[in-house]
Structure 1
Amino acid sequence: MSDQPTRPDTAPVVVTVAPYDAVTPRGAVTGAWILGQFDTAAGLAGKKFSGGEALILSIKDFTFHAALSAWEEFVIHAEPVRKGNSSFDLSFSGWADPDGACTRIFSATAVLIAVDDDGKPRKLT
């Protein structure tokens, strides 16, 4: 694990609390729950960036940096990295924020595609 980066200044896409029912016997929140929150964040950030529905085309990388404990505040930030004709890359980071002590939980980059009402790729504006 590398030096702890700072949490982005951008507004979070998702703010939630890690539930007790998603905890492993060792006390960490499951990766499945975190990935579900990432999926929600990708949908919301993709819609905001593209001005309409957007779907995950691929996840380029996803790295867990620390464990998330139950009942910790959990936030996800998204930042644009690349913009193409209909696809775009967003960089994501997830943070635990118990009592103001931020810990990076994950980082990821995903390729999303803007789609129209029929689910077909649409041009970004």
Structure 2
Amino acid sequence: MADAGTDLAVRPGSAPRILAVAPQSETTARGPVFGGWILSQLDHGAGLAGRKISGGDVVIAALKEVQFHAPLYGGEEFALHADLSRRGNSSFNLAISAWAEPDGACRRILSADVLLVAIDEAGKPRKLPA
């Protein structure tokens, strides 16, 4: 985990794809939320953003450069941003970042590069709309 004290990242200006309160029921015995809950939010947020970009169904082909920067604690506000970083013919990448916002403060929890592929009804890659 990166040192949150030296993390000078700035929260994206885009609207969050996911905005939630981290559930107390998903915390470890020491207090932080399980990484699996955070990754499930990444999956949901990437899917929501991917549908808007592709105009239909998408699948995650790869999670690249996933980094946890700081713990998220139960009861903290959780915001996940997904911004288009690369666009191909049928695939595209999203720059994902997740943030905790307790009491107006803001700290980065996670960053990732996610590769998605637009698919048709048969699950085959399809061309992205213009």
Which TM-score band applies after superposition, normalised by the shorter structure? over 0.9
* Normalised TM-score (structure 2): 0.93
Match of residue 80 from structure 2: 76
**Counterpart selection for 2:45 from 31, 38, 41:** 41
Query: CA–CA distance in 1 between the matches of 2:101 and 2:7?
Result: 17
Aligned length: 125
SS in structure 1 opposite 2:85? strand
After TM superposition, list the pairs within 5 Å mapping 1:1-125 onto structure 2. 1=3, 2-125=6-129
Q: CA deviation at 1:6?
A: 1.3
- Unaligned regions of 5+ residues in structure 1, if any? none
**Contact in 2 for aligned 1:62/1:107 (Cα 8 Å):** yes
Q: Percent identity?
A: 53
Cα separation, 2, equivalents of 1:15 and 1:51: 22
Q: Which amino acid aligns with 2:70?
A: A
| Structure 1 runs, 4 residues or longer, greater than 4 Å off | none
List alignment gaps of at least 5 residues for structure 2.
none
Q: How far 1:100 sits from its partner (Å)?
A: 1.3
1:5 CA displacement:
1.1
User: Structure 2 CA distance, aligned partners of 1:60 and 1:34?
Assistant: 15
SS at match of 2:86: strand
Q: Distance in 2 between matches of 1:17 and 1:102?
A: 14
Q: Distance in 1 between matches of 2:91 and 2:48?
A: 15
Conserved 8 A contact 1:68-1:96? yes
* RMSD of aligned alpha carbons: 0.9
Alignment check: 8 A CA contact 1:15 1:75 kept = yes
